[in-house]
Amino acid sequence: MKYMVCFLGIIFIMACTTAVWAGDSPYPPASADGYYDIATGHKYIKNQDSTYTEYSKRGKLLRADVPSTSSLLVSGKYIYEMTDSHYLVYEKRQNNTVTQQVLPASSNHPEGWRCKHMLSRIQGNEMSIAEAYEAAK
């Protein structure tokens, strides 16, 4: 009986320290207007209540209430903030042809297109973002 009480006491102490340690996140909550996941092509757009709406690469609504403290948004290594200097490359495949278009990140998702990449404009570049993307391919 003595060993069982000691064992339960050790488990209780370990559980309390784990709960206290796990409660402290070193990352502040997400605060940008939008994020892009380069691994999956998903977009996260900020809502009025500081949560985020998640869209798939095809523009379909996946979740409407992703919290701003989600570990994916605050510490995901493939998550990047979308600003005015970012552009998204959309692709459409029909009859063995691939059509692409480059739109600002703030624009709405075009119907029937898939989001493939995120691009960033380099300051002072005289080439348009679409021309730069085609030249880099």
Instruction: Provide CB contacts within 8 A for 90, sequence distance 6+.
Output: 100, 101, 102, 103, 109, 110, 113, 114, 115, 116
Concatenate the DSSP letters of all residues of 89-101 into one string.
Answer: EEEEEETTEEEEE
Predicted confidence (pLDDT) per residue in 2-59, tens digit: 777 777 778 777 776 655 555 555 778 888 899 999 888 899 999 999 899 999 999 9
Residue 74 near residue 25 (C-beta atoms within 8 A): yes
Task: Give the angle 25-26-30 at the CA atoms, nearest 5°.
Answer: 80
Q: Which two tokens stand for residue 125?
A: 């570049």
User: What are the tokens at 80?
Assistant: 């990047």
Rounded distance, CA 104 to CA 90, Å? 11
pTM of the predicted model as reported, rounded to 2 decimal places: 0.70
> Each residue of 81-122: pLDDT tens digit?
998 888 888 999 988 898 888 888 888 889 989 998 888 776
pLDDT at position 126 is: 54
Residue 8 is given by DSSP the state H
**What's the pLDDT at 85?**
83
Q: State mean pLDDT over 63-88.
A: 88
